[in-house]
Structure 1
Amino acid sequence: ATALQGYLIAAPSVFRAGVEEVISVTIFNSPWEVIVQAQLVAQGEPVVQSQGAILDKGTIKLKVPTGLRGQALLKVWGRGRQAEEDPLFHNQTSVTVDGRGASVFIQTDKPVYRPQHRVLISIFTVSPDLRPVNEKVRSASKTDPRGSRMIEWRHLKPFCCGITNLSFPLSDQPVLGEWFIFAEMQGHTYNKSFEVQKYVLPKFELLIDPPRYIRDLDACETGTVRARYTFGKPVAGALTINMTANGVGYYSHEVGRPVLRTTKILGSQDFDICVRDMIPADVPMTSVDGSQQVAFDDSTPVQRQLVDIRYSKDTRKQFKPGLAYVGKVELSYPDGSPAEGVTVQIKAELTPKDNIYTSEAVSQGGLVGFEIPSIPTSAQHVWLEVFQELEDYDVSDSFGVSREDGPFWWAGLMAQRRRRSSVFPWPWGITKDSGFAFTVRRGNGTGGDDRPSEPEPPAGWWPLH
């Protein structure tokens, strides 16, 4: 059987004037070389053509004439070794010829100038493959905001590597506003704008880098202030830091005594944070040249409770008497990262004195799973408590909800410490349909029967709002 013969031709859809374009040709299953010819036709007249002998795969190159632009026709045909033979194939397609054989980029040394400054200009000319082109720029000019042409250069030749450098001074009373630089090459015009303004103080940004969180109210943490001009140079000046504690009492709007610190800064400056709750830091700064910026940050939560414990979303709130119950708790640090290697205890009781399950587990990847083997068939409600034993400080000294859900609450500075306590207790409601539900023990029930009573908060705890 004879294999089917054919061809495949790939060419750019856009040709560029003055550039040597490449046409890729593939001949399938030909036992001999095929003479392939390519021709570019513009306005009915052939402007360039080329040919080559191809066996299997090869390329044909066409050097597009300069000054050519618009639509053109690309014709390709192939024939055998004998000139008198009929063409083996013939095809044609339309292409667009872009008159830009090279691209021009204009750059100034600064975006904003003052009167009597000298404007430095660099003009870069590159080929389509971004290689430097040492081709003359036909003309370059500068216009003021009113459109008046202030200066013009003609027939500029790059001194090296496709780069042309120009400069001109500004007068002591130039027209203020947006100025333009124009460059013309191969019939195309390129432009670049810059600003001329009266003297203004350099602008700089002021950033506050607070600690991720504060664990102990009695310990000081370190924050950092960074000041840099928009062009990257460090700012020198006087720095004033105003800090206060927000929510020092039961209500979140109570604000503590402000703390002021003044120091010198050169680029960056560390400062101590010794406060007792959510910290807004209001930082005004004046540089040596007189300019001023103010930054504000309130993203640092204060946590005596280092580990946040909560039941996972897939932990069921109902149980079936006589069957095992499987649950899971999630542990995280105040910044939201998983708490690894934290030992927690899980305890389940029918009544404050009727314990049915106690377990201890270590978190892995911020998760602790547990399983209560069997719940008595007579049980209607079970108090489930997950807690962490601590020696140095109490996890219940501060607790609350996330920033997205509401304000951050804590027990106050004089709260009584408890060596063992629940963390972020989750009260589960009773489902009337099934009659079975877990509830979280936050205190001893006062009821005299098996029905659950309203829990009382332990001493030193405050409710969540």
Structure 2
Amino acid sequence: MKTRRKSTGLAVFLLAAMLATLAPACERVPDNVDGYTAVLPAALRAGTTQVIPVSLFNGAAPASGQVMLTLLKDGQPVAAATERVSGAGALKLEVPNIPEGEYQVALSGPGFRDEAKVAVSNSYLVFLETDKPIYKPGQTIHIRVLTLDPDLMPVSDSVTVEALDAKGTKVFRTVSSTDAYGMATMDLPLSTEPNLGAWKVNAATAKNKTQLDVRVEEYVLPKYEVVPDLPREWFLVSEQIKGKVTATYSFGKPVKGDLTIKATRYVGQWQTYSTVTIPIDGQAEFTVPATGYVAGVPAAGGQGNVQLDFAVAEKTTGYTEKTTKLLTVTQSSLVLQSIPSGSIFKPGLPFGFLVVSQTPDKLPVDTRVNARITYFRKDFTTVSAEQKNVNTVKGKALVEITPPKDAVALTIDCSAQGASTTKTIESGYSPTGNFIHLEQTSPAGAEVGQKATFRVYSTSEATNFYYEVLARGSVVFSDFSRGDELSFTLTPAMAPGSKLLVYQVLPNAEIAADYLPFKVAGAYPQEVKVGFTTAQAKPGDAVGVNVTTQGQAKVGIAAVDKSVYILAENRLNLKQVFDDLEKLYMLPQAELHEVIPLQSIKVRGASDTFKEAGVVVLSNKKVPGGQQFQNQVFRGRGGPFGGIAIEAAKEGALPVPSPAAPPAAARADQGLASVQRVRQFFPETWLWQEVVTDASGRTTLNVTVPDSVTTWMLRAVAISQTHGLGIGEAQLKAFQPFFLSVDLPYSAVRGEVFPLSVAVYNYLDTAQTVQVQVEKKGWFDLLESDTRSITIAPNDIGAAQFRIRPTALGTSDVKVTAQSAQAADAVIKTLIVEPEGVAREMVDNLSLAPGDIKTLDASLPPGIVDGSGRVYLALTSSYLTQTVNGLEALLQMPFGCGEQNMIVFAPDVFITRYLKDSGQLKPEIMAKAEKLMLTGYQRQLTYRHSDGSFSAFGSQDKEGSLWLTAFVLKSFSQAKDLIYIDNGVLDAARSWIVSHQNADGSFDQVGMVVHQEMMGGIKGKTALAAYVASALMQAGEKVASAKAAAYLETKVQETTEPYTMSLLSFALETAGSAKARAAYEKLMGMAREDENGLHWGGDILPLDPPSPQPRAGGP
């Protein structure tokens, strides 16, 4: 028994110790509850479990009781959680997958019930990536969309992807769905002449949206990258600018040549003041004279700018790559900042601010700083002032102050070495003067698994501090502490940033609170390893791409020429992922206010703290709000607060500074090495595909290295249903020690001479005497010898040039070979040779009845450019049906000016429409037609005026063309369900046409038509009104088209010209007019019937347009 008593006593002692240190709820907690507090996120995420901390009180002491939390929609329960709470506890509320919107929460317990409004959110992340950041006309934009929840796990949903061209016009729209892995892909083909500039690609779901900018430009991939390296981003006005420049080929070798640096300073206008040229061999150091004088810009704090333009010209060939660097020019080498430890101070509590002394490019400088702190009352009179002199170490010094209890605002004025800064901070508010203040004592940005520690300062002694960690819209951790030190382990759910909310209940039933955002180093939940089976390979080699994931995952693979990323960068990465997470749950992170005189002070209370932390409080305790004090004395500039820049703190603790091939066999006959492979495949995007790893998380792609000598940048975006998102990257160097490159224009005109430039790169250990030869072909004349002999030193470049005159039309190949005794290379490039003169097309049609034999005259008209004539014969079973083999004869690629483009675009639409309506549209034909129509649509938008009209040359013309705008409106309206057409384009064109309608329903010609042949037989107001009315009816315009139809009804009897009568008859039939039958009968009465069948004759003259303005070239 004694032993048992000892054991029981020991157990009681240990239990008491545990209760005393672990939970106030485990002490002697009375059941009579007279107070409660529950804190929950202001926005609950659907489909998640929300942990809701609850505290019960008897006075200021803890109490116990049964508590229920209910989520309601319009008074009807949708979820509930019940728990017995002893002092402090938590309810686990299972939020179902319910629609977004406003809901209510009700907290009930012994003797109380409280309600509040909350939001339910279904928001998740949408990411966009394209294969490249920049595209040429005619290329295809490959798009990948990812939809993920806030835990970076896949979400399947419908997604709408749209593209806006450089003028902001929507040119592409498609609706797709992300699969079970949260991934979807689509392609956007570009026309050969799109609007150049920055395009926007948007992806939107019902829950979120995102945007990615790409550039569409006419460019040539750079051969090498020019990278300036300067010791800093700023220089004194009297200081020489020194640095170095590195020039490296995309395949990793250094560039030899000349470096030219042009220095331009801003003196009210940009002025070149120095040009320096020096040799470069991969790297070169340079010195540019001091600027001497620059104009300071007020928005930049009085600092000026100098621009350095760097150009590296390749030795021998003269090929040049450029880049630019903008530097700051300043009078002083010191910049001061004061960074407060919080966005407000608490009167009577310690408050710290960090003094930062650094150079203009943020490098630390140690100096002595004078800091003057002035405190103000609510009536804006001075309470007191104090002086703090500190020495910065590594550019930083912490200053501790304790503001007086009656201070509602303070200013911090810091100065050193002629530099100065001013900061204004406002106080928090408590009716009894009680506050708590949070400070992070562990390093910011700690990694998952590490401890985070914080200190709580309080002006009033309280039994417990209750604290919660909120991340991504949920409470991910909650606890309480009796001491002023808080500590917890960082979890993945807290990355990339969380908020620590701390509050205490005072004996007078008032709540004091503070919160502090803190950073957590992020990491992908999915570990992805991707790599090639070798680090370096020759063009044409077979290599493998190994992908490893955590379990089965879908992986989007992209491999792009590094030269593309020299131009621009847009790859999906960890920073973008976690930046988007912060946008979803952590905004606002900081505020920046303009320089204004302080006319009022807003002191914040506990309710402001809870609101800013993004939580809702249910409590019968006092949660004081803030107060506003108006400055009746200081208006405008002057006074203690005049002209002060008020910048809110970064809402966190004081920041921690960032840490700083073997040679080929020789040919016996000529002593030259033989060519082992002819290179002719040079893509910018090599790989763009999706694969799924097996159950063990592995897969291998077997691929062939393209013919480019470059570095291939490989990226793998993986999503698994169990581990979420991960991204892996790798590189492959495609290289051979001896190779040539050929520079050709995109196209040439027959008969015009152009230079074919060849560069030969020798990275062998010995000099090479190289024979460069252009293979003779029948499509061009060589104006000199087809062979050049050049000697190239090791690790050097040689160049040869051949003058060529094309003699044959079409797309042809040119083969260039470079051979030495040790090595050889050959390249085939293509060139488009266009005919001289202007393109014209003639069409003849006939119909055949069974047994008919007819002859077509296929002779070419006089004056045709030799070799440019083509005759196509298409036989179809009906007037419009086309077979796949004859598709090219009817469906054509739109080109030319705004009129020429429509001449080709409209038939593409009409043919596709007919095939679809007749059930003969095959998938392969639709794929072809869709690309052609998208191309024509994008191109036509380049000829659109700001008022919505169209003309042959767009904004170059003084006004839009009524006839062409009607033609566009009709064609676009008919194409609307075949491809994406922006409704805004249709509405604007329709409105512009209606604005030019006469009172009687007719139209006068506006603008000019260059290609009169495209108007057919339109002559006079009646024909024009009939055509425009048909376009308006096709576009769904009822009022104006009815008015035009009424006008046309008055013209049935007086119209005598067959073509006009046919337009009038069609318009009235479409309008459902009572005069439609009479118009049709009159049209048929004008017909002639002979051995050729039924037809209409008569001299048809086009409407005389206004005289066109002179212009250079044709449309």
For normalisation by structure 2, the TM-score amounts to: 0.21
For normalisation by structure 1, the TM-score amounts to: 0.45
Q: Which has the higher helix share?
A: 2
Q: Which has the higher strand share?
A: 1
